[in-house]
Amino acid sequence: MDYRIASIKGDGIGPEIVTQAQKVLKAVGEKYGHGFEFMELLMGGASIDVNGVPLTDETVEEAKKCDAVLMGSIGGDTRTSPWYKLEPSKRPEAGLLGIRKALKLFANLRPAYLYPELKEACPLKEEVAARGFDMMMIRELTGGLYFGERYTKEIDGVMTAVDTLSYNEDEIRRIAIKGFDIAMKRRKKLTLIDKANVLDSSRLWRKVTEEVAAAYPEVEYGVMLVDNCAMQLVKDPAQFDVVLTENMFGDILSDEASMITGSIGMLPSASLNETKFGLYEPSGGSAPDIAGKNIANPIATILSAAMMLRYSFDLDKEADAIEEAVKKVLKEGYRTIDIAAPGQDQVKCDEMGDLIAQRI
């Protein structure tokens, strides 16, 4: 089977880590008889440098012609990069928001799994890390504060900024259904994270999600306030299976969940629409301070490629092969700098890609 993949390498370490994921996919193709064609596209700062904008209509149209999108990291140093002297709508991250909207990617999936071999890199207490954790963070992507009306203007002589948080029941219901469907394939537990003691939008989330829960009697359904969830993630992450939440809360909590694994460089993500089409990217940022040094951890991007095989192409066996190859490499003691314990041998970004590809 042949697949056409839109490859958006992006900024910072993006080109380095996406190249390693492509290397692993080619190894999968050779073993299992698939062809992966990569359509190289620009977005973010790389697009600004060439096209003057972070996302062009041409990039969106080319992406739509592909079977999925594999992406690196977007953005640069907000203090020094000329990209951040532009108005917000023309900065690198605007391209990311734009492509999510254009491709109707409403559900962001971020697994957070603590590999036994990396327990020493986990920043939590030893007894907490010893219990391990395996959760799926599901974040709504196209609504909420990030897409609501916003403005900054002088009101009664005082500069005032306004951001609008808005959700309708249809937006909530479709991602709640996605969350419960995924929970059915896991440990059958889903926790809705909100701020229903304060926000009207959160109260609507509770109402609609409770209605959806009634159709999934096998799933244990619970709710938790976002501030409590932030504490529980560092106190007892093993309690969570599927975590469902809105856009901004999900943005914050999923980064917290990824860091307690020991390194954000280990965590993949998928953004899905209502078909099998998805955009797959690492959870971490562009890390401009280490860009070009060949020391970035490519595992999150490689595991994102595995998610692509699983969720967009229905190639579960091939996805399993990538995940098992990652586990083998870690068990053999290979580490990039971000996950290496003191005195442990370190490998470069491209060496990690080679090691995983060889074990497919």
Which active-site residues does the annotation give?
146, 195, 227, 251, 255
Distances (CA, A) of 103 to 67, 223, 266, 306: 12, 30, 26, 20
Cβ neighbours for 215, distance < 8 A, ≥ 6 positions apart: 180
Cβ neighbours for 157, distance < 8 A, ≥ 6 positions apart: none
CA distance 303 to 320: 10
E strand or H helix at 159: strand 158-163
- Percentages helix, strand, coil for the chain (3-state, rounded to 5) are 45, 20, 30
Q: Which amino acid is at 333?
A: G
Q: Which residues on neighbouring strands pair with residue 242, listed in sequence order?
A: 136, 190
Please check whether residue 206 is in contact with residue 223, taking contact to mean a CB–CB distance below 8 angstroms.
Answer: yes
